[in-house]
Chains A and B, each alone.
Chain A
Amino acid sequence: MARTEQQSNDRFAGRWFWRFASPAQFYPVAGMIEKICWGLALVLAAVGLYIGFFRAPTDATQGEVYRVIYIHVPAAWMAMIVYLAMAFWCAIGLAFGTRLSFMMSHALAPTGAIMAAVALWTGALWGRPTWGTYWVWDARLTSTLILLFLYIGYIALAAAFDDKKKGDRASALIALVGAVNVPIIYFSVQWWNTLHQGASVRPGSSSMATVMLTAMMIMTFAFWAYCVAVAMNRVRTQIIERERGAQWLGSGKGIKP
């Protein structure tokens, strides 16, 4: 194993960006990204919620309950984006055998699962007053529920192996196969006749009032920053756990919590 790692190091030597594929090099960088993203998340959430609750008007057809949109849509988008990011790092990990890639995908999974759960929960509470039901087996809702199960399956499988490398590879396969579900979620409202409304926002066009759209987009970036911050925090913990005993960690006392 040490030999293949040595070989892959030789193969990529001389490309500066591979430097950050080393957990030791990435540890402080992750800390910096985490701090910046915490700041962004807090500021953006404050601005987004202010516009969403105190500037955006009452919706003409739905009344006030539509304000769930400012967390429902960002959570649903992030559930999909985090999944794609997770699958991406799994693919890189399988292809190049880089240790940090699997740590990244493990760090993303719990946050993605939370985003999917929040999207489903807020959707249920929004559905009750607008559709008259908390849940229907509609294509959009069902595929999002499958996304949540994929996250849970990934996390469970990664943790089920005593040999972490086996767990990394087995769970990466689930993540990659499950990635087909993401376009299904996105296009479900076009492909099937669903109770869930179609997309209000598409690249290049939108059917929402500007002030509502602004608040929703700001909240989306707040969620995005939150997901990055939390993933960076978790990847640092992963590095401490997995690189234990490595030279660079030393006594571990130099590591900031």
Chain B
Amino acid sequence: MIWESWSAFWSMGGRGFFVWGSYGALAIAVVAELIVLRSARKRALEESHERSDGGSL
């Protein structure tokens, strides 16, 4: 362990805002992308079922 304590870890030598602001933005981007992927898949499957059940095409 190179850190003296967990609070030293979180403060990142006083640069915590910049370090965690970067990692936090990445985490938000990844989670948002996964939510969008999931809902897009759900919508595509629903539409695909509707088409074949409705028999319009």
Chain A interface (Cβ < 8 Å from any Cβ of B): 53-55, 57-58, 63-65, 67-68, 71-72, 75, 110-111, 114, 117-118, 121-122, 125-126, 128-129, 226, 230, 233-234, 236-237, 240-241, 244-245, 249-253, 255, 257
Taken together as a complex, chains A and B put the C-alpha atoms of A63 and B18 apart, in Å, by 12
Taking CB atoms, residues of chain B closer than 8 Å to A244 are 47-48, 51
Taken together as a complex, chains A and B put the C-alpha atoms of A59 and B51 apart, in Å, by 59
On whether the beta carbons of B25 and A121 are closer than 8 Å, the reply is yes
Q: Closest residue of chain A to B3, judged by CB?
A: A54
Taken together as a complex, chains A and B put the C-alpha atoms of A55 and B21 apart, in Å, by 21
User: Known contacts A64-B13, A71-B23: does B37 contact A233 (CB below 8 Å)?
Assistant: yes
On whether the beta carbons of A71 and B26 are closer than 8 Å, the reply is yes
Taking CB atoms, residues of chain B closer than 8 Å to A226 are 30
B2-40: contact bitstring with A at CB < 8 Å (1 yes, 0 no)? Answer: 110000010011110111011101100110011011001
On whether the beta carbons of A65 and B45 are closer than 8 Å, the reply is no
Taking CB atoms, residues of chain A closer than 8 Å to B3 are 54
Taking CB atoms, residues of chain B closer than 8 Å to A117 are 29
Cβ 8 A contact of B52, one of A63, A65, A241, A252: A252
Taking CB atoms, residues of chain A closer than 8 Å to B12 are 64-65, 67
User: Known contacts A58-B13, A234-B40, A251-B53: does B19 contact A67 (CB below 8 Å)?
Assistant: yes
Taken together as a complex, chains A and B put the C-alpha atoms of A122 and B57 apart, in Å, by 48
User: Known contacts A54-B1, A71-B23, A128-B18: does B51 contact A245 (CB below 8 Å)?
Assistant: yes
On whether the beta carbons of B22 and A71 are closer than 8 Å, the reply is yes
Taken together as a complex, chains A and B put the C-alpha atoms of A75 and B12 apart, in Å, by 21
On whether the beta carbons of A63 and B48 are closer than 8 Å, the reply is no
CB distance from B35 to the nearest CB of A (A): 12
Q: Closest residue of chain A to B1, judged by CB?
A: A54
Taking CB atoms, residues of chain A closer than 8 Å to B34 are 230
On whether the beta carbons of A251 and B49 are closer than 8 Å, the reply is yes
CB distance from A217 to the nearest CB of B (A): 18
CB distance from B38 to the nearest CB of A (A): 9
Residue of B15, B36, B37 ringed by the most chain A CB atoms within 10 A: B15
On whether the beta carbons of B41 and A65 are closer than 8 Å, the reply is no
Taken together as a complex, chains A and B put the C-alpha atoms of A233 and B37 apart, in Å, by 7
Taken together as a complex, chains A and B put the C-alpha atoms of A67 and B12 apart, in Å, by 9
